[in-house]
Every structure is written in C-alpha cells, then in structure tokens.
Amino acid sequence: MELVIVLMVIVTIAGIAMPRLGSASERAFNARRVSDLSTLQKALELYHADNGIYPVVSGWSGDAPKYGGHGYTQVDPYIPGLIPEYIDMLPADPDAGFPTGSKGYLYKSDGDEYKVLAHQTPSKFPTDHRFFDSVRPTWAYQVSSKGGADW
C-alpha cells in the first residue's frame, strides 16, 4: 500500500513538472532562434557594408527541403557569400526535428533588400516581439531590411 501511495505521488509530481519542462525547452529554442536571426542580420549588414548589396538569391532559399535543402557551410549554403568572412557557419534550427518540409530557416534577397525567417518552427508569436513577422504573424520570426519586411 505504501508503495502505491509513493508511486501516485511520483506520478502526480511528474505530471505537474513535465509541462513546465516542455515550456522551458520551447523558450530555449525560441531564444536560440532569435539569437540566430540577430547573428544573421549582423553578418548581412557587414556583407552589405563591404559589397554595397546583400547576397542575391532567386526566390526563397533555405535549409528546408521545399526551399532547396541548402546547407550551413561554404558548400551550397542557404545564404551565399557569408561564409567564412562574415560568419563561420550558417545557423540551423535548434530543434533536431527541423528542417523538414517547408519548416526551417529561409532567406530571400534581390540585392537591395533582404528577409530571413525562422519559418514554421517557433512556438510563440508575441506581437510586440522585435522579430514579429506581420506577413506570417503566427508561424515565423523574421529579420529584414526595411524594404524586405513585407515579403
């Protein structure tokens, strides 16, 4: 009987703790996505300062299979021209379940403007967030040049 009571207490505590742990990992993943976007924004601005344009791609380019399944190193990167001078390696989503399908990191630029997305991977979307994407308010974080914000 004592063993049953102890097990019930353990199960109850685990039931209370597990959602909080899941929430903590979601917050950590989202914080990492924000950090990745900030890092990419700085690298893109340095590239632009040196070259007068942002790295150009045709349409959306990304690590997600639907957007090319590009890599994170100098071999077929999803943002060309940044490695190794402006960034050592392009970031990947912190959740090992991504990229998949259309979910992952995406980049678009015509040379004059750019936009980078954590696309369909974040779990929370506060409207006062600095990385809020008004085009995708419930499924992406973004950084962009002023003219790329509406892409």
Over residues 37-82, the pLDDT tens digits come to 999 999 999 999 999 999 999 999 999 999 999 999 999 999 999 9
Instruction: Give the pLDDT band of residue 24 (cuts 50, 70, 90).
Output: confident
pLDDT score, position 55: 98
pLDDT score, position 13: 58
3-class SS of residue 143: strand
Higher local confidence (pLDDT), 55 or 16: 55
Closest CA to 38 of 151, 100, 131: 131
Whole-number Å distance between alpha carbons of 42 and 17? 38
Higher local confidence (pLDDT), 139 or 5: 139
Give me the mean pLDDT over the 80-105 stretch.
97
CB 117 within 8 A of CB 134: no
Higher local confidence (pLDDT), 10 or 144: 144
pLDDT score, position 6: 59
Give me the mean pLDDT over the 21-25 stretch.
68
- CB burial readout 117-126, b (16+ within 10 A) else e: bbbbbbeebe
pLDDT score, position 21: 43
pLDDT score, position 25: 85
Over residues 108-137, the pLDDT tens digits come to 999 999 999 999 999 888 887 889 999 999
